[in-house]
Amino acid sequence: MNSKIWLSSPHMGNNEFNFVKEAFDTNWIAPLGPNVDGFEKDLETFLGNEVHVAALSSGTAALHLALIILGVKAGDEVICQSMTFSASANPIAYQGALPVFVDSEDRTWNMSPELLEVAIQDRISNGKKPKAIIVVHLYGMPAEMDRIMEIAKRYEIPVVEDAAEALGSTYKGQALGTFGDMAILSFNGNKIITTSGGGALVSANEAWIKKARFLATQARDNAPHYQHSEIGYNYRMSNICAGIGRGQMEVLKDRVEKRRANFDFYKKAFAANTDISFADEPSEAYYSNRWLSTVLVEETNGVSRESIRLALEKENIECRPLWKPMHLQPVFANAPYYGDGTSEKLFEKGLCLPSGSNLTEDELHKVATHIQECFKVSADPVV
């Protein structure tokens, strides 16, 4: 069997191991230490805009703390983009709150500003103003942040950016993760950079980030004994993982460039194929890290995103349908949804192609060739 071509696999640089070794040499084997502080500083410098960062055990944990800090409680409602990974919505349920799902628009595949406003007005007229808005930058593509922030400000609802997939992307030259009242990042194994597992909470509000660090370390009051006035969590990042993160920050820019080059490669390779289309950046304002290269497949002659996915699977090439929208998930069957069918159409046609920054030219060619073959076979007359 050929060696597997992964969707998105970890890609270490030169220094990750040195930071981890330093943690061993100095015995900082704990969820605190110089690497945790250093990684937070690196992220703050990279993101700019005077944000503060708390390094945490996962992006999901970061989103959970964001909702707690915003005061989301049982019975509250939180608006969330439907087209996303379940981790964007699960923390709403952790709080006993109700997710209200909003559909995407078809340029960025992210939250539709029009439908967001429809949802807000309808929830208010039903007697409940949403407590927060979770907007996602899917596959690294910036959401329409100007319009979303304008609507959120007008209704005075805080915005949490789920930038788990979007570290290194910008909107109007400004880093994603610095637009909302808070933002979360993920460093899971398949993200653009990884700490094996990890995440971060980002905010310009320093008090909130301090609060996040406090809640993430079991909410210990300032006393010599263990005293607690609030429910705490064990959500801090390990100093070992943060060491990997410090090394990864040194190569983040290269990783973005390579992922964007993957996208350009696929776009060129399928330029003549009218059944395959791409989500281009809608204007100069949008700069995507192209975490995953995605295509839409127009079903023709039995060739669909699923037939392509299965054909590639046979070749030991990993592809994945786009995220199945949250309003179609059995677990969220009872959640309200405001949509026009955009995310359903994307889910039906969309495929994520191998996109790692460690893919070789040969591997990219192999993926493209096997996809083109799917169309050739179907074009042949059946004898």
Nearer to ligand PLP, 186 or 304 (CB): 186
**What is the bridge-based pairing of β-strands 174-175 and 170-171?**
antiparallel
Shortest CB 263 distance to ligand PLP, Å: 17
Q: Which residue is nearest to ligand PLP (CB)?
A: 59
Q: What is the distance between the alpha carbons of residues 279 and 141, in angstroms, rounded to a whole number?
A: 9
Nearer to ligand PLP, 53 or 374 (CB): 53
Nearer to ligand PLP, 163 or 303 (CB): 163
Nearer to ligand PLP, 35 or 84 (CB): 84
Q: Which residues are catalytic?
A: 191
Shortest CB 319 distance to ligand PLP, Å: 17
Q: Compute CA 142 distance to the chain's CA centroid, rounded to the nearest angstrom.
A: 11
Shortest CB 87 distance to ligand PLP, Å: 4
Which residues, other chains included, contact 266 with Cβ-Cβ below 8 Å and sequence gap of 6+? Answer: 278, 293, 295, 353, 364, 367, 368
Is the separation of the CB atoms in 262 and 30 below 8 Å?
Answer: no
> Residues interacting with ligand PLP, by CB under 6 A?
58-60, 84-85, 87-88, 136, 162, 164-165, 186, 188, 199
Q: What angle do CA 106, 258, 343 make, to 5 degrees?
A: 15
Nearer to ligand PLP, 294 or 304 (CB): 294
Which of 160, 177, 180, 159 has the alpha carbon at shortest distance from 169? 177
Shortest CB 173 distance to ligand PLP, Å: 23
Q: Which long-range contacts (CB under 8 A, 24 or more apart) does 71-77 make?
A: 71/131, 72/97, 72/131, 72/132, 73/97, 76/128, 76/130, 76/131, 77/123, 77/128, 77/130, 77/131
Shortest CB 204 distance to ligand PLP, Å: 21
